[in-house]
Amino acid sequence: MKREIKKEFEIWFAGAFDGMKSIAFTLNFRQRQPGKWLPDDLTGASVYHESERLTEQQALATYKRWYNGLCRKALGAKAVARKNRAKLQHLVVKEGKVSRHDQTVKQFHLHGVIEVPKGIRADHWVEMCEAEWVSLPWADPMNHDFTKYRDAGCIEYILKDRTKEDVEDSILLEITHLNDDVMRRLKSPAPSSLI
């Protein structure tokens, strides 16, 4: 990605979270699910199913379950169910690196920022985020981080290029949600690559 476009994204996302109580996160995934014995549908005998490797689709589905669970807890299940109107503002960027254990598998993890809902203290929200994350099957229960978002340097770190082939492709715009009122107050226009 050209430096100019990356800078546009940094300014745009930093503006979206400026002055808002938010939590920055890093979410790591289990790279493999262990094999297990399951009953055969026809015979009822136990059959061993091989271990399963993480895919990008599984990682993104796990993130969506985490985010939707947080929305339901913070905003109420009825509000979230009404045509997906009630959403928390969040930015998500995927990053991958070669696993230390298997040189052929990318180790997926996500960076991002999520707003702290009104009426919830930031430290309590961090606890809620963590509890929701560790309850998911592909989530790594030990390697994750939630910290208070402080300044635009966090966005710069999230969009760093040193571990991404293409920063623009790593921004998950189909998952990212910025509220309409935030979009209106942003001083800078949307990055040119989005128009």
Structure confidence by residue, pLDDT tens digits, 163-195: 666 777 788 888 888 877 666 555 455 565 555
Q: Is residue 176 part of a domain?
A: yes
Q: Is residue 37 part of a domain?
A: no
Which residue has tokens 């399951």? 38
Contact 57, 148 (CB under 8 A): no
Q: Is residue 46 part of a domain?
A: no
Beta bridge partners of 93: 111, 171
Q: Is residue 39 part of a domain?
A: no
Element (H, E) at 133: helix 122-134
Q: Is residue 93 part of a domain?
A: yes
CATH code of residue 146: 3.30.70
Q: Is residue 7 part of a domain?
A: yes
Q: Containing domain of residue 144, as a range?
A: 3-30+53-190
Q: What is the pLDDT of residue 44?
A: 74
Contact 130, 146 (CB under 8 A): yes
d(CA 62, CA 125): 19
Structure confidence by residue, pLDDT tens digits, 82-124: 766 678 889 999 887 545 566 554 577 899 999 999 899 999 9
Say how many domains are in the chain: 1
Average pLDDT over residues 116-139: 92
Q: Is residue 45 part of a domain?
A: no
**Which amino acid makes up residue 163?**
T
